[in-house]
Amino acid sequence: MTEINIPRLDLNDYVHGSDEQKAAFSDQIGQAFTETGFVTIANHGMTKELMDELYVEVKKFFSLPDEVKRKYEIPELAGQRGYTGKGKEKAKGAPVPDLKEFWQRGQTVTDGDPVKAQYPDNVEVEELPRFNVVTREVYECLERAGKHLLKAIAVYLGLDENYFDTKVHNGNSILRGIHYFPILDPDALAPDAVRAGAHEDINLITLLIGASADGLEVLTRNDVWYPVKTQVEDIVVNVGDMLQRLTNNKLKSTTHRVVNPPRELMKASRFSVPFFLHPKLEVDLSCLDVCIDAAHPKAYSDMTAGEYLDERLREIGLKM
């Protein structure tokens, strides 16, 4: 038997619940994050209409001709805004690139915070006015849900509930629309080529909007790949390397991947929309004192989020 704890939690229990419900939510998310690093979340605050329209717009974008999409490719931004074409990103240490293309949208600073100067502008798609509106709306919804989840995690860690608030306010988070394109000739595929190679996410936590097809798998502690199943209306949330680093490995950034479909389904596309929740670039990721003791000596050097991100973007081939 493969033991794995991916509980389904109701975010309403934390946001609108009694003290007992809030405490239970913190415990459950904390437990799951110390064991498997993954949960699924119901009542995350995004309506079904918004999620449906997001998929309509994301599909429209990736259906645009390649030469139109390429107008939105900005190599000097290391894929952080706009379009990144097929064959660009690979998992750290992987021999071949992932079988995907993607779009990224970043923070919109509206309150005069000088941090705005650090972020490149978002790229608007001229051909699809609703795409721009809907992706911004989804970004804001997932950011709000993520901030609640970080409060619950802070409580679990014994920190002040608001510990993360200033660190992630106007943070460097990214919404990514991914298209895993059809594999038209499976025989021509490089033997190691997969939709998304085994990897860990770079950021604090990832909130993933239900993929349009199966394929996401997590690596369990006994080295078995285990498929992540969700109800379509839920989101999947996992720990990233920044949170693992900050918590000195108490919370686990679990390795995951997206496998290729069986041969008969290879001509179908797969879409997914992860939101990578990042702090501001200057935030210190040094291991928290509450996570260091004799049994758990400090495992990482001190670094800011910006320094760490830079190192990781080079490793995955997005930054030269």
Ligand X SMILES: O=C(O)CCC(=O)C(=O)O
Residues that bind ligand X (CB under 6 A): 178, 196, 201, 208, 211, 216, 256, 258, 272, 274
Report DSSP letters for 119-158, one per residue: SPPPPP-TT-HHHHHHHHHHHHHHHHHHHHHHHHHHHHTT
Q: Which does 211 bind (CB under 5 to 8 A by kind): ligand X, Fe ion, none?
A: ligand X
Rank residues 207 and 291 by Cβ distance to Fe ion and give the closer one. 207
Q: Which residue is nearest to ligand X (CB)?
A: 272
End-to-end CA distance of the chain: 43
- In angstroms, what is the minimal distance from the CB of 186 to ligand X? 20
Q: Which does 216 bind (CB under 5 to 8 A by kind): Fe ion, ligand X, none?
A: ligand X
Q: Is 107 helix (H, G, I), strand (E, B) or coil?
A: coil
Q: Which does 145 bind (CB under 5 to 8 A by kind): Fe ion, ligand X, none?
A: none
Say which amino acid occupies 93.
Answer: G
Residue 105 CB-half CA count within 13 A: 23
- In angstroms, what is the minimal distance from the CB of 60 to Fe ion? 24
Pairing of strands 101-105, 235-239: unpaired
- In angstroms, what is the minimal distance from the CB of 297 to Fe ion? 28
Rank residues 171 and 177 by Cβ distance to ligand X and give the closer one. 177
Say which amino acid occupies 61.
Answer: F
Q: Does 101 contact Fe ion by CB under 5 A?
A: no
Residues 269, 211, 255: CA angle, nearest 5 degrees: 105
- Rounded to whole angstroms, the Cα distance separating 53 from 131 reads 9
Rank residues 196 and 277 by Cβ distance to ligand X and give the closer one. 196
Can you give the binding site for Fe ion, defined by CB under 5 A? 201
